[in-house]
């Protein structure tokens, strides 16, 4: 672990324990970036107050225990510790990081982690909200795998339920070929609306749809075949979106609602038998403790409707049991819209009550904030109609093409760069702000070449690659050692050392925007370095050149690895 903040935190804790007493060994040392030094530690303030001793005195006692620390420790103000690391220590750590094939990223104790993400509904459009859960879930999958965890991707498609009666009947009306063509093209919403209109206006169609629900539930082979025709075409459209985005989901990750259908009866019966589910107003309900409605009455989670039908909650109860018992997971991440927060809190509480979610398994709802249009309302096209995702993504690529049109690339290269920039921009926009905040979809901002955007980061890494092309050197074999003379070199090296800790933190907290912020700060530190410290210019001595090339190589590794972990493509040149 090379991260200076962590090294420092451990060292301060140790000094605290030595100076004050072992019972303080795990007190938070409160390391913060500082204006006056590299870092400041504020722990003496709180410990002093707790012991009724002067914090300054406590700080002095800690400082006295840190005489062997590779840096300068000073006490300032009422009792802050200002800590400046030795530049030679930073250079040594950076050189070591360059030699480390994992670039400072740890190998975690492996866990089995379900990541439930994307999950569009076959009976409705796949909308920008699903785009965001897809992108955030995919980044988390990549990050967890890179740390050495086993990730089980679960695409919990909405592919079952009563609407499928009318959807199948509509398919018979318009013919299989026409239906398939429409669904593959992403016109699921239009298809659904046409079926719905008939269902509402045509009594015989309604009757047919109802009967079809029953034959579907009973597993009638011909009905199942039609359902497959419908679903396969729909999934081909979803896959088009995934392919454009470069998302790692495959058909093997599909675990839609239909998969749980055969388990629902037993799920309900078992819950009822143990008394966790009870009948209320004709429906079988869960009343997880601690949830009450506005009228102070316990809030139900209906798992079997009075007509015997099952719904979203029934499926999620079956799914959580399956994931814990059969998939044997340690952690489940539900990357789903923030508007479902209550649903998941109730599901987790009910599963705990039933003993299906032991303390050893952590279930977390990773709330995805709503996507807004520039007008601050839910995202729509100008005409107010819903937006086909493939068209939206294509627009990003087209705009990126226009932005790089004058750079003199041949058509093939141009298309490659535009794809990377367009998709990178859309993905990074989702990843660079915290996943639970609402977010305004704005092409101009996400495609900007300045600021915290994909094009800026992609450009920074492409520029480093071009340095190596010019130097005719391979960044993978550059050796260093890294020596530090200039402030900008020191700042860049210090920044690079923090990479591993950020990745760990992102995995713990499930907050990919922290990695984005880190990469942006790294690109900014690199830009300053590159302005102030010539690498290939005449007059730069061989040692300095080798050291600066090594810093470039380490920056490139961090940028490439980091962007790859976020799922943002990295073009060779830009
Ligand atoms: N299909 C749902 C939706 O579009 C998301 C499903 C999320 N996963 C789950 N296990 N409930 O809102």
CA-CA distance, 167 to 133, in Å (whole number)? 26
Residue finishing a domain among 85, 112, 138: 85
Between CA 39 and CA 499, with CA 1 as vertex, the angle to 5 degrees is 70
To which H or E segment does residue 31 belong?
Answer: strand 31-33
- Does 562 share its domain with 460? yes
Closest approach atom of ligand 1 to CA 319: 10
* Residue 384: band (very low, low, confident or very high) from pLDDT cuts 50, 70, 90: low
Cα(160) to ligand 1 centroid in Å equals 12
Cα(236) to ligand 1 centroid in Å equals 19
**Is 118 within the bounds of a domain?**
no
Pocket test for ligand 1, best of 336, 337, 366, 389 (most atoms within 8 A of CB): 336
Report which protein residue has its CA nearest ligand 1's atom 8: 156
Q: How many CB atoms lie within 10 A of CB 365?
A: 23
Q: How many CB atoms lie within 10 A of CB 185?
A: 16
CA-CA distance, 28 to 122, in Å (whole number)? 49
Closest approach atom of ligand 1 to CA 121: 1
**Is 425 within the bounds of a domain?**
no
Q: What is the pLDDT of residues 211-229, one digit of tens each?
A: 999 999 999 999 999 999 9
Cα(117) to ligand 1 centroid in Å equals 8
Cα(357) to ligand 1 centroid in Å equals 19
Our CA dihedral for 294, 296, 301, 304, rounded to 10 degrees, sits at: -110
**Is 530 within the bounds of a domain?**
yes
Cα(345) to ligand 1 centroid in Å equals 14
Residue finishing a domain among 186, 221, 250: 250
Pocket test for ligand 1, best of 127, 156, 323 (most atoms within 8 A of CB): 156
Cα(155) to ligand 1 centroid in Å equals 9
Q: Is residue 21's pLDDT more than 90?
A: no
Going by C-alpha positions, the residue among 124, 251, 118, 121 that lies closest to residue 187 is 124
Cα(295) to ligand 1 centroid in Å equals 28
> Which CATH number belongs to the domain containing residue 18 in this structure?
3.30.1360.70
Share of the chain above pLDDT 70, in %: 98
**Is 23 within the bounds of a domain?**
yes
Do the Cβ atoms of 456 and 523 come closer than 8 Å? yes
Residue finishing a domain among 250, 272, 301: 250
Q: What is the pLDDT of residues 339-368, one digit of tens each?
A: 999 999 999 999 999 999 999 999 999 999
CA-CA distance, 171 to 229, in Å (whole number)? 9
Q: Is residue 127's pLDDT more than 90?
A: no
Cα(335) to ligand 1 centroid in Å equals 9
Task: Give me the numbers of helices (H) and strands (E) for the chain, helices first please.
Answer: 22, 13
Q: What is the pLDDT of residue 549?
A: 97
CB within 6 Å of ligand 1 — which residues? 116, 119, 121, 156, 158, 316, 319, 334, 336-337
Cα(285) to ligand 1 centroid in Å equals 20
Q: Looking up tokens 């919990």, which residue turns up?
A: 156
pLDDT, mean of residues 240-264: 97
**Is 146 within the bounds of a domain?**
no
Q: For the ranges 181-185, 326-330, 385-389, 452-456, which has the lowest average pLDDT?
A: 385-389
**Is 503 within the bounds of a domain?**
yes
Q: Is residue 332's pLDDT more than 70?
A: yes
**Is 206 within the bounds of a domain?**
yes
Closest approach atom of ligand 1 to CA 129: 4
Q: Which residues contact 407 (CB under 8 A, 6 or more apart)?
A: 414, 574
Assess whether the previous peptide bond of 481 is cis (omega < 30° from 0): yes
Exposed e or buried b per residue across 141-176, where buried means at least 16 C-beta atoms within 10 angstroms of its C-beta: bbbbbbbebebbbbbbbbbbbbbbbbbbbbbeeeee
**Is 324 within the bounds of a domain?**
no
> Which CATH number belongs to the domain containing residue 472 in this structure?
1.10.730.10
- Does 559 share its domain with 473? yes
Report which protein residue has its CA nearest ligand 1's atom 5: 119
Q: What is the pLDDT of residues 458-510, one digit of tens each?
A: 999 999 999 999 999 999 999 889 999 999 999 999 999 999 999 999 999 99
Note down the domain range covering 239. 163-250
Q: What is the pLDDT of residue 385?
A: 64
| CA-based max dimension of the chain | 88
Report which protein residue has its CA nearest ligand 1's atom 11: 316
Per the structure, the count of domains in the chain is 3
Tokens, residue 349: 């509480």
CA-CA distance, 290 to 346, in Å (whole number)? 9
> How far are the Cα atoms of 408, 545, 546, 547 from residue 541, in angstroms, in the given order?
34, 6, 9, 10
| Predicted TM-score of the model (pTM) | 0.94
Pocket test for ligand 1, best of 116, 119, 351 (most atoms within 8 A of CB): 119
To which H or E segment does residue 140 belong?
Answer: helix 128-146
Q: What is the pLDDT of residue 381?
A: 55
């Amino acid at each position: 672990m090379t991260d200076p903040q962590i090294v420092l935190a451990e060292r301060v804790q140790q000094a605290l324990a030595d100076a004050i007493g072992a019972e303080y060994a795990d007190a938070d040392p409160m390391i913060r970036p500082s204006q006056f030094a590299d870092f400041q530690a504020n722990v003496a303030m709180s410990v002093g107050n707790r012991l009724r001793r002067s914090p300054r005195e406590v700080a002095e006692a800690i400082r006295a225990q840190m005489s062997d620390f590779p840096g300068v420790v000073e006490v300032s103000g009422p009792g802050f510790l200002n800590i400046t690391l030795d530049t030679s220590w930073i250079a040594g750590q950076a050189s070591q990081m360059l030699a480390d094939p994992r670039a400072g990223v740890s190998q975690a104790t492996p866990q089995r982690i379900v990541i439930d993400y994307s999950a569009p509904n076959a009976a409705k459009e796949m909308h920008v909200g699903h785009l965001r859960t897809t992108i955030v879930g995919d980044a988390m999958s990549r990050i967890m795998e890179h740390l050495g965890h086993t990730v089980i991707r679960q695409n919990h498609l909405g592919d079952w339920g009563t609407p499928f009666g009318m959807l199948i009947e509509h398919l018979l009306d318009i013919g299989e070929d026409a239906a398939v063509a429409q669904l593959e093209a992403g016109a699921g919403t239009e298809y659904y609306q046409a079926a719905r209109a008939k269902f509402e206006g045509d009594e015989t169609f309604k009757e047919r749809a109802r009967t079809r629900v029953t034959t579907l539930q009973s597993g009638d082979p011909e009905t199942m075949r039609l359902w497959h025709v419908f679903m396969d075409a729909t999934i081909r459209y979803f896959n088009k979106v995934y392919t454009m985005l470069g998302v790692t989901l495959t058909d093997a990750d599909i675990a839609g609602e239909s998969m749980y259908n055969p388990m629902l009866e037993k799920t309900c019966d078992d819950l009822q038998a143990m008394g966790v589910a009870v009948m209320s107003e004709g429906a079988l309900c869960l009343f997880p403790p601690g949830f009450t409605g506005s009228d102070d009455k316990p809030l139900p989670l209906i798992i079997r409707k009075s007509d015997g039908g099952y719904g979203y909650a029934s499926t999620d109860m079956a799914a959580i049991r399956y994931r814990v018992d059969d998939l044997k997971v340690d952690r489940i991440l539900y990357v789903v819209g923030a508007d479902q927060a209550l649903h998941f809190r109730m599901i987790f509480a009910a599963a705990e009550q039933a003993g299906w979610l032991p303390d050893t398994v952590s279930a977390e709802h990773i709330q995805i904030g709503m996507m807004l249009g520039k007008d601050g309302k839910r995202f729509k096209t100008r005409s107010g109609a819903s937006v086909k995702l493939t068209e939206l993504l294509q627009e990003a690529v087209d705009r990126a093409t226009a932005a790089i049109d004058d750079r003199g690339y041949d058509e093939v290269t141009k298309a490659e760069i535009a794809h990377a920039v367009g998709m990178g921009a859309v993905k990074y926009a989702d990843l660079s702000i915290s996943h639970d905040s609402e977010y305004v979809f704005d092409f101009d901002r996400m495609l900007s070449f300045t600021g915290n955007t994909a094009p800026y980061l992609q450009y920074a890494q492409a520029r480093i690659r071009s340095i190596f092309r010019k130097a005719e050197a391979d960044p993978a074999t550059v050796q260093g050692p890294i020596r530090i003379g200039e402030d900008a070199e020191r700042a860049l090296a210090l920044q690079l050392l923090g990479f591993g800790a950020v990745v760990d933190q992102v995995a713990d907290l499930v907050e990919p925007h922290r990695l984005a912020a880190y990469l942006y700060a790294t690109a900014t530190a690199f830009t300053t370095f590159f302005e102030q410290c010539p690498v290939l210019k005449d007059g730069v001595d061989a040692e300095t050149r080798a050291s600066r090339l090594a810093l470039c190589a380490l920056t490139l590794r961090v940028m490439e690895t980091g962007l790859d972990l976020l799922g943002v493509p990295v073009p060779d040149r830009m």
